[in-house]
Structure formats: structure tokens, C-alpha cells
């Protein structure tokens, strides 16, 4: 879209926003009964008409390690939500409602689906390649591969493998990986694994620990149980749950940290 640059110069606080012609359409849409086919036409016109706004907001968040196209998509989604939820009779104008809504959507995307610090694209691709190679080699070897095996497999130098592995640590713990992995509710494994109660017997701080473990999300509890009470390796757990070993590692690290914090908060 070409409207991005031109909308940058405009100040939304003045009346010259460039979107005034769309305002009557909101009133028109609000007056139509639900299910009226004209609503869809108006909605389309409103979303399309405000697209430069979404692009403008996406542009403000670009160069932070998330592809621009993804940002525009997320911002557009935010815009659609804003169009759907906006009530013209509330007395606010659409822009002061939409801008925070769209920005919120983009921020959430950064929080949920991106790297916690700026990591060059090359390193992210390297990390993804290593993740894929690691899954493949684990299958073949029956254990997790070493950096040198990964290097040989991917035809990379040791330093490149180290870089790629380290880049994985910069990945936010709430990753895309996580968003794409099976929902804990639908995971049949969750049903098979009971509480780790029996295994926890004999652990000194059992009484303070048990409620903390019960509060964990199903999948985190499962990973904890499989690693510490069933002695499975991270690679085996990754394979069982259908996520990467690096992701298991991140989740386990976060879970142990939470448990430690919880035990300390207990006055222990």
C-alpha cells in the first residue's frame, strides 16, 4: 500500500486526519440492524479506508526483528477489531479508539511471538535450521546431537553453530513455537499423567511445593514430571509433546524459576 508514508506527516490531533470522510459510515453502520448485508459492505469500506493507519503503526514497530509483513498483518487484525468494536455514539472519534487498539495488538505480537531482543535475521534462520537439524539427528542417533554433529550435518563451522545455539536463548519464552504447539486441553498425554504426588513423597518441602506444582499449566507440569520424576531427557520430552528441545529447555527453566520463587515467597 502506498498510503503509509503520506499518513506519517499528518497529526491525528488536528482535524486533518485524512479519514474524516469515513466517519459518517460508522454512524450509518451502527444504524443498520444486525445481519443487514449492507453492514458487510460498510465494514469492508471502513477497514480498507483505514488500512494506511494500520500500515503506519506497523511501520513504527519495524526494524525490531519482526518481519514488516507480519506486523502489517497483525496491525490490520487490530484495525478490524477496532472497526467491529467502535461505537460512534460514545462521543469519541474512531482514531483515538483505534490507535491504542492497533498498537496494543502489535505490542502483544511482540510479547507473544517474537524475540526478546533484537536478533539479526541471519541468526534466527540459523537457529531455526539448527532446531530442525537437531530434531532430525535426534531421531537418527537416538539422543540429542552435539554442536559438532550439527555443524557436520549443516555444513557449518563450530562458531556458526555456537552462534545459532546462543541465539535460541534470546528467544522470548512465550514463543511462536509455543503458540503453534498443541493446546494443553487437547493433549491426550495430560490425561495419562496424573499428579506427581507419589513421586514427590519424601521431598521435604512437599507441602509448600504441591500447590505450586498444581498451579502450573498442564504442559509445564507434564514437562516437570517427565524430566524429574520419570527421568526422560529433554529430547525425549520434546518428541513426546511435539515441540523442540530448545523449547522444552526454555519452559523447564522458567518453571523451575517459578517454583523457586514460590517456595521463597512461602517464607521458606
Partner 1 sequence: MFEVTEDGSPEEIELRIAAVLTNLPIIRSLAASIAMRADFDLDSIADLRLAVDEACSTLITQSAPRSTLRCAFHVNAEEIRFVVSAPSTSDTKPSSDSFGWRVLTTLTDHTATWIDGPDDSDAPLVHIELAKRRSEGLPG
80 Cβ neighbours under 8 A, 6+ residues apart: 47
Candidates 108, 215, 253, 265; binder of partner 1 (CB under 8 A) is: 253
Are 56 and 7 in contact by the 8 Å Cβ rule? The answer is yes
92 or 253: whose CB is closer to partner 1? 253
Candidates 35, 37, 188, 202; binder of partner 1 (CB under 8 A) is: 202
The alpha carbon of residue 234 and the mean position of all alpha carbons in its chain are separated, in whole angstroms, by 22
Q: Cβ of residue 134: shortest distance to partner 1, in angstroms? A: 6
Q: Which among 73-81, 182-190, 215-223, 255-263 is the span making contact with partner 1, rule CB under 8 A?
A: 255-263
DSSP symbols for the chain: --HHHHHHT--TTSS--S-GGGHHHHHHHHHSPTT-HHHHHHHHHHHHHHHHHHHHHHHHT-SSSS-HHHHHHHHHHHHHHHHHH--GGGS--HHHHHHHHHHHHHHHHHHHHSBSS---HHHHHHHHHHHHHHHHHHHHHSSPPPHHHHHHHHT--HHHHHHHHHHHTTB-SS-HHHHHSPPGGG-HHHHHS--SHHHHTT-TTHHHHHHHHHHS-HHHHHHHHHHHTS---HHHHHHHHTS-HHHHHHHHHHHHHHHHHHHHHTT-
71 or 167: whose CB is closer to partner 1? 167
Candidates 45, 77, 128, 144; binder of partner 1 (CB under 8 A) is: 144
Q: Cβ of residue 106: shortest distance to partner 1, in angstroms? A: 27
Q: Cβ of residue 86: shortest distance to partner 1, in angstroms? A: 43
Report the site for partner 1 in 97-136 (rule: CB under 8 A).
Answer: 134
φ/ψ of 67, rounded to 5, equals -55, 140
Per CB under 8 A, 156 contacts partner 1: no
Per CB under 8 A, 158 contacts partner 1: yes
Q: Cβ of residue 148: shortest distance to partner 1, in angstroms? A: 4
Per CB under 8 A, 233 contacts partner 1: yes
Candidates 145, 154, 175, 223; binder of partner 1 (CB under 8 A) is: 145
Per CB under 8 A, 258 contacts partner 1: no
Candidates 72, 221, 235, 241; binder of partner 1 (CB under 8 A) is: 235
φ/ψ of 116, rounded to 5, equals -75, -15
Candidates 6, 68, 264, 266; binder of partner 1 (CB under 8 A) is: 264
Q: Cβ of residue 130: shortest distance to partner 1, in angstroms? A: 9
Per CB under 8 A, 227 contacts partner 1: yes
List residues near partner 1 by CB under 8 A.
134, 143-148, 151, 158, 162, 165-166, 169, 200, 202-206, 209, 227-228, 231, 233-235, 245-246, 248-249, 252-253, 256-257, 259-260, 263-264
Amino acid at each position: 500500500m502506498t498510503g503509509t508514508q503520506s499518513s506519517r506527516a499528518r497529526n491525528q490531533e488536528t482535524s486533518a486526519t485524512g479519514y474524516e470522510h469515513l466517519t459518517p459510515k460508522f454512524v450509518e453502520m451502527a444504524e443498520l440492524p444486525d445481519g443487514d448485508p449492507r453492514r458487510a459492505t460498510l465494514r469492508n469500506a471502513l477497514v480498507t479506508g483505514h488500512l494506511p493507519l494500520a500500515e503506519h503503526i506497523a511501520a513504527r514497530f519495524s526494524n525490531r526483528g519482526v518481519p514488516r509483513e507480519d506486523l502489517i498483518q497483525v496491525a490490520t487484525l487490530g484495525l478490524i477489531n477496532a472497526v467491529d468494536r467502535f461505537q460512534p455514539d460514545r462521543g469519541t472519534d474512531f482514531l483515538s479508539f483505534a490507535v491504542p487498539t492497533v498498537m496494543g495488538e502489535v505490542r502483544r505480537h511482540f510479547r507473544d511471538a517474537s524475540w526478546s531482543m533484537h536478533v539479526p535475521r541471519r541468526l534466527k534462520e540459523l537457529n531455526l535450521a539448527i532446531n530442525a537439524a537437531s530434531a532430525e539427528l535426534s531421531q537418527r542417533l537416538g539422543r540429542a546431537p552435539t554442536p559438532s554433529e550439527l555443524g557436520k550435518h549443516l555444513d557449518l563451522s563450530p562458531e556458526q553453530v555456537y552462534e545459532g545455539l546462543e541465539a535460541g536463548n534470546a528467544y522470548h519464552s512465550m514463543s511462536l513455537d509455543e503458540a503453534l504447539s498443541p493446546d494443553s486441553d487437547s493433549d491426550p498425554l495430560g490425561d495419562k499423567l496424573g499428579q506427581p504426588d507419589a513421586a514427590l513423597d519424601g521431598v521435604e518441602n512437599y507441602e509448600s511445593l504441591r500447590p505450586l506444582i498444581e498451579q502450573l499449566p498442564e504442559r509445564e507440569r507434564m514437562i516437570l514430571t517427565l524430566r524429574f520424576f520419570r527421568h526422560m531427557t529433554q529430547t525425549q520430552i520434546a518428541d513426546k509433546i511435539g515441540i523442540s528441545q530448545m523449547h522444552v529447555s526454555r519452559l523447564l527453566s522458567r518453571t523451575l524459576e517459578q517454583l523457586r520463587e514460590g517456595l521463597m515467597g512461602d517464607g521458606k
